[in-house]
Amino acid sequence: MVVAMIALSLGLALPKTVAPSRTGSGARMSATLYDVPVSNHGARVRLLLYKAGLEGHVNVVSPMEIGGLRSEQYLALNPQGKMPLLVDEDGSVTWEADAICRHLLDKHASDALRPADLRARTTSELLCRLHDAYLGPIQGCLYKPAPPFGRFGTRREALKELVAQLAVAESLCDATGPYLTGASFTLADATLFPTLVFVAHMLPKFDESLVRADDAPPAAPRDAAAEVLGPRLLAYWAHMTTKDAEGMRVRDEIMSGLNAWDAKGRWEPIAGAGARDDAPGTLFDMILAGDIPSDAVYEDDVCYGFRDINPVAPTHVLLIPKKRDGLTQLGVATAEHAATLGHMMAVAAPAVAKAEGLADFRVVTNSGEGACQSVFYLHLHVIGGRPLSWPPG
């Protein structure tokens, strides 16, 4: 119902009955698009409708009108249970924003958004593919509470990839603009712009985690668009948000939803884990930085292993994540840390044991002073090389 209220506040039509007719009998006057303003995929279709002058042909309603994305009625129309979904006047369905956009242009024999110039047309296609294949699957790292984000197990990795893919988009953009492929607005603009609204609004929430390699504290408040977008995308962003009427309209529609997310504290469980680490530095930070020497045993992209200065067994190796990401101790771990912890347990610790020639070994982590934790940077003790008794003291 909240989504319905948002839609109403934006003046999006919400008819009482929207059950599609598969027979075509009693055909409605317009097709139905199931969508809510905050969806960037739905916003792609709305931007196309506004730009191609097709708004009057499509009635936009919330999926809640037929019970929501998980309802039997909705899943019968779109087995993916996702927005947007288009139901034509004859009851035939199309889902996935890209397919819906192309269907609408073909259905209405519109040349809008598909430039005649071969190079611009091909670049537009390329940007659409780039968005759907490389940005779409990981964009959830900007707002989902927990990984995975596409193929990435940590928000940090996914955010880095997002920034890398935006750099690819930058390299494909037309240098003169004002649109992505030149003078005219294309499907690529409808596709990429709503996602840029997400990026510009959400990236600052994760500021220190990725944009700068050195992890230096950012000057606040940051302008994420200015930091992450290259000069072409930045000029494009400025055009779309200050000069392009339909762009500004869609931006405002999306922002109405995103502001509601902000007001409901959507980022509270996100900002504390995986992205921000306000806890004091420890000697393990100094060991990682090389300021305190250590006897290295193991290293990969995720973690570092070194010999304990005060070993309790012939093998006593400490394994620490290379990025603490708020993981001062196991007791504060969240789903954000699952990939890091899983890697340390399932990959790094057995690798250390193997390298040390240990058939039997123990992996321990002390969480909290009452459990004898002395360094508040999560670490696994990998111990072996002698018979180990149980229970530990």
Give the interface with ligand 5GP as residue ranges (CB under 6 A).
283, 292, 294, 306-310, 318, 366, 372-375
Q: Which of 185, 178, 66 is nearest to 121 (CA)?
A: 185
Q: Which is nearer to ligand 5GP, 210 or 333 (CB)?
A: 333
What is the smallest separation between the CB atom of 280 and ligand 5GP, expressed in angstroms?
A: 14
Q: Which is nearer to ligand 5GP, 10 or 330 (CB)?
A: 330
**Residue 346 CB contacts under 8 Å (≥ 6 apart), including other chains:** none
Catalytic residue among 41, 131, 343, 379: 379
Q: Which is nearer to ligand 5GP, 40 or 373 (CB)?
A: 373
Q: Which is nearer to ligand 5GP, 123 or 366 (CB)?
A: 366
What is the smallest separation between the CB atom of 286 and ligand 5GP, expressed in angstroms?
A: 8
**Residue 316 CB contacts under 8 Å (≥ 6 apart), including other chains:** 307, 308, 381, 382, 383
d(CA 184, CA 27): 35
What is the smallest separation between the CB atom of 284 and ligand 5GP, expressed in angstroms?
A: 8
Q: Which is nearer to ligand 5GP, 265 or 281 (CB)?
A: 281
Active site residue 41: no
Residues in a beta bridge with 320: 304
What is the smallest separation between the CB atom of 340 and ligand 5GP, expressed in angstroms?
A: 18
What is the smallest separation between the CB atom of 371 and ligand 5GP, expressed in angstroms?
A: 8
Q: Which is nearer to ligand 5GP, 19 or 312 (CB)?
A: 312
d(CA 318, CA 352): 10
What is the smallest separation between the CB atom of 307 and ligand 5GP, expressed in angstroms?
A: 6
Question: Catalytic site residues?
Answer: 379
